[in-house]
């Protein structure tokens, strides 16, 4: 049972996003799937309309990107039809006929045609370059008032840190507020991609990369990793939510530990740090599922069994090499979280695991 979904939606009290619930029905923090914005047809059934084939144009330059793409598509189509058409026509017209041995003489030079087929394509290509460069500059050069959001990509999830220090694992933005992402990877090569924004940028370990855009339409869009980064690559996606006001955004990103239950704090830590590799629906992933383990005796790769209690959880988070569950060896794929999660955080995780066990038990 996906009981986390209502909790997540309950946090989203954005009045202008009434259909948010519907559109995020597919959101599950267990795997974080988001409806593909390319499936939202923007109310057109005309297959010749750009909006029919492409995701919602939700950034300031999305329309220009699509315009250039469609222009090149139609130019290519026109030339394809003209060239193939002429070729077929000439093949038939000048085919070898019975009784005619020598080929008809052909003209070796025609100044008018040669100028035409040199100048016309040149003009078209220069135009494509001009429009392409113009759009590219718009996608690359941030406006001066752009807010900065830190993005940390890791196997297999996202962490977004806002200017006021809030952190989330979905990206929350404000409509008409330009944003510059400062991105880094904790491990391997990833790539930031939001189709609705027509923006994509690799995230490279050992250096910062940047992405810039201005969301112009509120809604929920899919944010995914677009560079194969390991077995969980296809799961490395989350929601990008564009709010209508700064206040709405703040309501969705602020997290006051003291106002939350240990369970909620634990769930949040799970979502930010653990959900990339550990599921809570009983399914094995990069690491074992976490929902049924509390209080159980788990089998280790060395044949021993370990009781999942407070010490076991602390060890597993701080010293992942210490206990490796059978089937997940021979070495631990997990990095130590010592220095990232302190003992209080571990307490929250424990509270979360305890309740998960109870809830999963109830659902049975
Ligand atoms: Cu991260 Cu693919």
CA of 3 to the centre of ligand 1 (A): 27
Bridge-based pairing state of the strands 179-185 and 147-154: parallel
Model confidence band, residue 361 (pLDDT cutoffs 50, 70, 90):
low
Task: Name the fold adopted by 4-31+259-363.
Answer: Cytochrome Bc1 Complex; Chain D, domain 2 (1.10.760)
User: Is 280 a pocket residue for ligand 1 (Cβ < 6 Å)?
Assistant: no
Predicted local distance difference test score (pLDDT) of residue 363: 52
Q: Residue 147 and residue 128: Cα distance in Å, rounded?
A: 31
Taking alpha carbons only, the member of 241, 197, 191, 205 closest to residue 220 is: 241
Model pTM score: 0.70
Per-residue pLDDT reduced to its tens digit, 246-284: 988 888 887 777 778 888 889 888 888 888 788 888 888
User: Is 274 a pocket residue for ligand 1 (Cβ < 6 Å)?
Assistant: no
Burial, 322: exposed, middle or buried (Cβ in 10 Å; 0-12, 13-18, 19+)? Answer: middle
pLDDT exceeds cutoff 60 at 311: yes
- Written as one string, the DSSP assignment of 238-277 is EEEEEESSHHHHHHHH---GGGS-HHHHHHHHIIIIITTT
CA of 241 to the centre of ligand 1 (A): 20
Residues of the chain with CATH 2.60.40.420: 147-253
CA of 45 to the centre of ligand 1 (A): 34
Residues of the chain with CATH 1.10.760.10: 4-31+259-363
Predicted local distance difference test score (pLDDT) of residue 279: 86
Does the domain spanning 147-253 belong to CATH 2.60.40.420? yes
Per-residue pLDDT reduced to its tens digit, 215-231: 999 888 889 999 999 88
Model confidence band, residue 55 (pLDDT cutoffs 50, 70, 90):
confident
User: Is 227 a pocket residue for ligand 1 (Cβ < 6 Å)?
Assistant: yes
User: Is 264 a pocket residue for ligand 1 (Cβ < 6 Å)?
Assistant: no
Residues of the chain with CATH 1.10.287.90: 50-95+109-140
User: Is 225 a pocket residue for ligand 1 (Cβ < 6 Å)?
Assistant: yes
Predicted local distance difference test score (pLDDT) of residue 19: 40
Q: Residue 146 and residue 139: Cα distance in Å, rounded?
A: 13
pLDDT exceeds cutoff 80 at 13: no
Q: Residue 46 and residue 52: Cα distance in Å, rounded?
A: 7
Q: Which residues contact 336 (CB under 8 A, 6 or more apart)?
A: 317, 318, 319, 320
Query: Which residues, listed in sequence order, are joined to residue 200 by a DSSP beta bridge?
Result: 193
User: Is 205 a pocket residue for ligand 1 (Cβ < 6 Å)?
Assistant: no
User: Is 233 a pocket residue for ligand 1 (Cβ < 6 Å)?
Assistant: yes
Burial, 107: exposed, middle or buried (Cβ in 10 Å; 0-12, 13-18, 19+)? Answer: exposed
The CATH architecture one would assign to domain 50-95+109-140 is Orthogonal Bundle (1.10)
Predicted local distance difference test score (pLDDT) of residue 95: 84
Higher pLDDT pick, 13 / 236: 236
């Amino acid at each position: 049972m996906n009981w986390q979904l209502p909790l997540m939606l309950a946090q989203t009290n954005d009045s202008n996003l009434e259909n948010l619930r519907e559109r995020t029905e597919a959101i599950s923090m267990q795997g974080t799937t988001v409806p593909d914005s390319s499936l939202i047809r923007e109310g057109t059934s005309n297959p010749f309309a750009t909006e029919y084939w492409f995701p919602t144009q939700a950034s300031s330059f999305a329309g220009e990107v699509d315009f250039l793409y469609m222009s090149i598509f139609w130019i290519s189509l026109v030339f394809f039809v003209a060239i193939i058409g002429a070729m077929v026509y000439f093949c038939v017209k000048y085919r070898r006929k019975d009784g005619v041995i020598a080929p008809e003489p052909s003209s070796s030079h025609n100044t008018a045609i040669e100028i035409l087929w040199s100048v016309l394509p040149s003009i078209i290509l220069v135009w494509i370059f001009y429009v392409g460069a113009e759009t590219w500059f718009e996608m690359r050069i941030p406006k001066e008032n752009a807010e900065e959001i830190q993005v940390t990509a890791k196997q297999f999830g996202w962490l977004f840190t806002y200017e006021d220090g809030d952190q989330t694992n979905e990206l929350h933005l404000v409509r008409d507020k330009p944003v510059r992402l400062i991105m880094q990877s904790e491990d391997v090569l990833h790539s930031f991609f939001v189709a609705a924004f027509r923006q994509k940028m690799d995230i490279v370990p050992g250096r910062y990369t940047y992405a810039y855009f201005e969301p112009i339409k509120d809604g929920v869009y899919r944010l995914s990793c677009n560079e194969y980064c390991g077995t969980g690559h296809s799961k490395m996606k989350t929601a990008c939510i564009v709010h209508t006001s700064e206040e709405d955004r703040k309501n969705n990103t602020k997290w006051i530990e003291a106002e939350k239950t240990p369970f909620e704090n634990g769930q949040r830590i799970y979502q930010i740090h653990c959900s990339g590799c550990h599921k809570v629906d009983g399914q094995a992933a990069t690491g074992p599922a976490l929902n049924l383990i509390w209080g159980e005796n788990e089998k280790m790769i060395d044949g021993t069994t370990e009781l999942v209690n407070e010490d076991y959880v602390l060890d597993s988070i701080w010293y992942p090499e210490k206990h490796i569950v059978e089937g997940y060896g021979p070495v631990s794929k997990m990095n130590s979280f010592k220095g990232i999660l302190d003992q209080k955080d571990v307490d929250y995780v424990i509270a979360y695991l305890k309740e998960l066990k109870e809830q999963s038990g109830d659902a049975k």
